[in-house]
Amino acid sequence: MESLVASGIGILTGAGVYLLLRRRTLPVIVGLTLLSYGVNLFLFAMGRLTLDRPPILGDGVAAYTDPLPQALVLTAIVISFGMTALVVVLALRGYLDTGTDDVAIRQSDMVRDFGPQNLGHHPLDPQARRDAW
Amino acid sequence: MVNHWIIAPVVLPAMTAVALLFVPRGWMQARRAVSVASVVALSAICVVLWGMAQNGPQAYAVGDWPAPFGIVVVLDRLSALMLLAAAAIGLAAVLYAIIGWDRRGAHFHTLFHFQLLGINGAFLTGDVFNLFVFFEVLLIASYGLVLHGGGAWRLKSGFQYAAVNLIASTIFLFAVGLLYGVTGTLNMADLAVRVAALPAADHALLRVAALLLFIVFAVKCALVPFHWWLPSAYSAGSAPAVALFAVLTKVGAYAIIRMHTLVFADDAAGISGTLQELLVPAAAVTLALGAVGVFGSRSMLQLASYSTVASMGTLLLAAAGLGAAQISAALYYLLHSCLIGAALFLLVDLVAAGRGPVADRLLPEVPVPQALMLGGLFFLCGMAMVGMPPLSGFVGKVAILDGLRGSENAVLAWTVILAASLLLLVGFARAGSTVFWKAGTMALRSAGGRPEAMRPAPRRAGLVVALLLAGTAVLSAFGGPVLEATDATAAELLDRQLYIRAVAPAAFPPES
Residue B472 has what pLDDT?
95
Residue B447 has what pLDDT?
54
The reply to whether residue B353 touches residue A116, judged by beta carbons under 8 angstroms, is: yes
Residue B352 placed within a domain: yes
Residue B165 has what pLDDT?
95
Amino acid at A11: I
B227 versus A131: which is more confidently predicted?
A: B227
Residue B64 burial (CB < 10 Å; 0-12/13-18/19+)? Answer: exposed
Q: Angle at CA B328, nearest 5°, toward B263 and B125?
A: 40
Residue B499 placed within a domain: yes
pLDDT exceeds cutoff 60 at A77: yes
Residue B509 placed within a domain: no
Residue B256 has what pLDDT?
95
Phi, psi of B187 (to 5 degrees): -70, 130
For an interface test with B, which of A40, A68, A83 has the most B Cβ atoms less than 10 Å from its Cβ? A83
Residue B113 has what pLDDT?
97
Q: Give the Cβ contact number of residue B451 at 10 Å.
A: 10
- What is the residue range of B426's domain? 4-503
Name chain B contacts of A76, Cβ cutoff 8 Å. Answer: 173
Amino acid at B348: V
Residue A129 has what pLDDT?
43
Q: Angle at CA B489, nearest 5°, toward B488 and B491?
A: 65
The answer to whether residue B147 neighbours chain A at the CB level (below 8 Å) is yes
Alpha helices by DSSP H, B98-202: 108-124, 128-147, 152-183, 188-196
What is the dotted CATH code of the domain comprising A2-51+64-109?
1.10.287
Q: How many domains does chain B have?
A: 1
Residue B455 has what pLDDT?
65
Question: What is the rounded distance in angstroms from the CA atom of residue B175 to the CA atom of residue A43?
Answer: 9
Residue B43 has what pLDDT?
97
Question: What is the rounded distance in angstroms from the CA atom of residue B37 to the CA atom of residue A95?
Answer: 39
Phi, psi of A119 (to 5 degrees): -100, 60
Residue B510 placed within a domain: no
The answer to whether residue A56 neighbours chain B at the CB level (below 8 Å) is no
The reply to whether residue B167 touches residue A132, judged by beta carbons under 8 angstroms, is: no
List average pLDDT for each run of 10 residues in chain B, which is 512 residues long: 88 96 88 96 97 93 84 94 97 94 88 97 95 94 91 90 94 95 92 90 93 96 92 92 94 95 85 89 96 94 95 94 92 96 95 84 84 92 92 94 89 95 96 86 59 70 94 95 96 93 69 44
Residue B508 has what pLDDT?
57
For an interface test with B, which of A23, A114, A121, A124 has the most B Cβ atoms less than 10 Å from its Cβ? A114
